[in-house]
Amino acid sequence: MNFNGRHVVITGASTGIGRATAARIASAGGRVTLIARRADLLEAAARELGEGARWAAADVGDKAQLIAALDAAVAQNGIIDGLFLNAGIGGNFCAVEDYPDDVFDAVMTVNLTSVFWAIAHVLPAMKARRGGAILVTGSLASERGMPMNAAYVASKHAVLGLSRAVANEGAAFGVRSNCVIPGLIDTPMLDGLPPGAADQMARAVPLGHTGTADELAQVAAFLLSDAASHVTGQALAVDGGMLGTMRV
């Protein structure tokens, strides 16, 4: 995978999957712009990644902040060749009838609406120059109706559909759109699972272990690169075999 001359913008980039993917792309010669809420973590990450790394602090759930960060990315690092929309939140774990309205709305805003905002802002320029790659982070919950987390499941089902709609609209312009499906990956989001849930899920992974952020990042970088030039509209699971072999 060669990212020489390419600029990739990554949300949720200060830790975990986003940070690991930024490192993969930078090591392959690309320029990266990191977007997340915490400026201190972004600045430290960009410093480690080197000359081609820039950052812009933003809460993706705030449209004005998100658009300003995307515009800053172009101003700092040039046109956006790849857009990896990775930021997300988990929400509450409770029955549907007990799920708070405000939490449901917040999860949908960050996990789905912010992805729509970002794509709608960046896609016209990609269409105009007839090329670009968009990648969205989905979840096992994009493919399975998991219990006790209605907002997260709804948002992740929806974001997969959005990614596929964009793939259809973008294809005639050489713009690709895909969804990467993390399984159980060792990231800070695991800390939000109910006690014991992560260990129980890890025992159910056919490959026998929790995945790493770098294992996911390798696939994300592939989908953003020209090595995946004939891949669009796909949901690619990096899950140790969970979706393909068992009920989740």
Stretch (H or E) spanning 9: strand 7-11
**CA-to-CA separations, 27 to 3, 20, 174, in angstroms, rounded:** 9, 11, 25
Total number of residues shown for the chain:
248
Is 152 catalytic? The answer is: yes
Is the distance from CB of 55 to CB of 46 less than 8 angstroms? yes
Give 20's Cβ-side CA count (13 Å radius).
17
> Cα–Cα distance between 189 and 129 in angstroms, integer?
36
> Cα–Cα distance between 93 and 79 in angstroms, integer?
40
Sign for the CA dihedral angle at 47, 2, 222, 9 comes to positive
Which of the residues 152, 156, 159, 166 is marked catalytic?
152
Q: Just list the catalytic residues.
A: 152
